[in-house]
């Protein structure tokens, strides 16, 4: 007998009575001002945010990061980028990227997380290997909580991730250190 059938048989042998699923809905946390709550959450997870008009985005990026950085982006109109993602053959070539600029699908007010998928991303490694991650997010694309968030995720990407702030660890004596393996800095450009 295969291990699969042995395991399934062993589970069936427990002959458990089915526990009914409780699908009754209950009231979830919502916010009068989703944007305000989102911004507070971003601060709480050590992220930074900047508000600007959509047309100002390229100037903002130049203003913050200067010109002598290696900048990659999957956004066609992004004039700040100077690394061509399409010519990259292996994700390892992304190792010296200073700044990655990507678009977020939507943000979650309760925890400052932003959902990003790999649909328009040549390589998802970009999100994690870059020193600084800049996420462009439409101010109107906010949900209150994770229950609402999971209703918005279509099943059409290979990979999707909620990112909430820069990477962090407290593994040495519980001291919080920002920048463990992923991005050392996270900016959200709210337009």
Partner 1 sequence: MSSHREKAKEFLKDEKFSSWQDSALWFVREKRDSATKEVKEWEELRKRASNIKAHTLSRLDFYLEEFEKNALKNGFEVHWAKDALEHNRIVYNILKKEGAKKVVKSKSMLTEECHLNPFLEHKGIEVVDTDLGERIIQLRGEKPSHIVLPAIHLKKEQVAETFEKFLDTKKGKSDPTYLTKEARKHLREKFLNADAALSGVNFAISQNGSFVVCTNEGNADMGTSLAPVHIASMGIEKIIPKMEDLGVFIRMLARSATGQPITTYTSHYFKKPKDKKVHIIIVDNGRSKMLKERDFIGSLKCIRCGACLNTCPIYRRSGGHSYPYIIPGPIGSLLGSNRDLQHNGDTAFASTLCGSCVNVCPVKIDITHQLLAYRKDYVDSGYLSKSKSYTLKLFAFVFSSKFLTEVSFNAAKIVLPFLPKRLKLWGNGRELPKLAKKSFSQIYKELENE
Q: Work out whether 123 is an interface residue with partner 1 (CB under 8 A).
A: yes
Q: How far is CA 24 from CA 18, 28, 146, 147, in A?
A: 18, 12, 17, 14
User: Residue 176 CB, nearest distance to partner 1 (Å)?
Assistant: 9
Q: Give the nearer residue to partner 1 in terms of CB position, either 60 or 132.
A: 132
Q: How far is CA 54 from CA 48, 109, 137, in A?
A: 18, 21, 10
Q: Is the dihedral of CA 185, 186, 190, 191 positive or negative?
A: positive
User: Residue 169 CB, nearest distance to partner 1 (Å)?
Assistant: 5
Q: Give the nearer residue to partner 1 in terms of CB position, either 24 or 77.
A: 24
Binding mask 16-55 for partner 1 (x = CB under 8 A): xxxxxxx---xxxx-----------x--xx----------
User: Residue 80 CB, nearest distance to partner 1 (Å)?
Assistant: 23
User: Residue 139 CB, nearest distance to partner 1 (Å)?
Assistant: 20
Integer Cα distance of 104 and 173 in angstroms: 34
DSSP lists the bridge partners of residue 100 as: 72, 133
Q: Determine how β-strand 168-169 pairs with β-strand 177-178.
A: antiparallel
Pull the structure tokens for residue 159.
């990979």
Work out which of 101, 165, 188, 189 binds partner 1, going by CB under 8 A: 165
Residue 71 exposed, middle or buried by CB count within 10 Å (0-12, 13-18, 19+): buried
Binding mask 56-75 for partner 1 (x = CB under 8 A): --------------------
Binding mask 83-122 for partner 1 (x = CB under 8 A): --------xx--x------------x-xxxx----x----
């Amino acid at each position: 007998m295969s291990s699969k059938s042995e395991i399934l048989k062993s589970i069936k042998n427990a002959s458990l009575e089915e526990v009914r699923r409780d699908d009754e809905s209950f009231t979830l946390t919502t916010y009068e001002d989703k944007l305000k709550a989102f911004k507070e959450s971003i601060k709480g997870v050590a992220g930074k945010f900047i508000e600007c008009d959509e047309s100002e985005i390229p100037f903002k990026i130049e203003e913050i990061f200067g010109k002598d950085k290696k900048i990659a982006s999957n956004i066609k109109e992004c004039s700040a980028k100077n690394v061509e993602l399409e010519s990259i053959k292996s994700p390892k070539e992304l190792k010296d990227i200073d700044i990655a600029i990507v678009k977020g699908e939507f943000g979650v007010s309760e925890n400052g997380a932003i959902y990003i998928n790999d649909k328009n991303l040549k390589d998802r490694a970009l999100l994690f290997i870059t020193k600084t991650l800049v996420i462009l997010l439409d101010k109107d694309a906010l949900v209150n909580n994770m229950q609402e968030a999971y209703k918005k995720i279509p099943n059409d990407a290979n990979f999707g991730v909620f990112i909430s702030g820069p990477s962090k660890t407290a593994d040495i004596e519980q001291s919080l250190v920002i920048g463990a393996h992923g991005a050392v800095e996270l900016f959200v450009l709210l337009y």
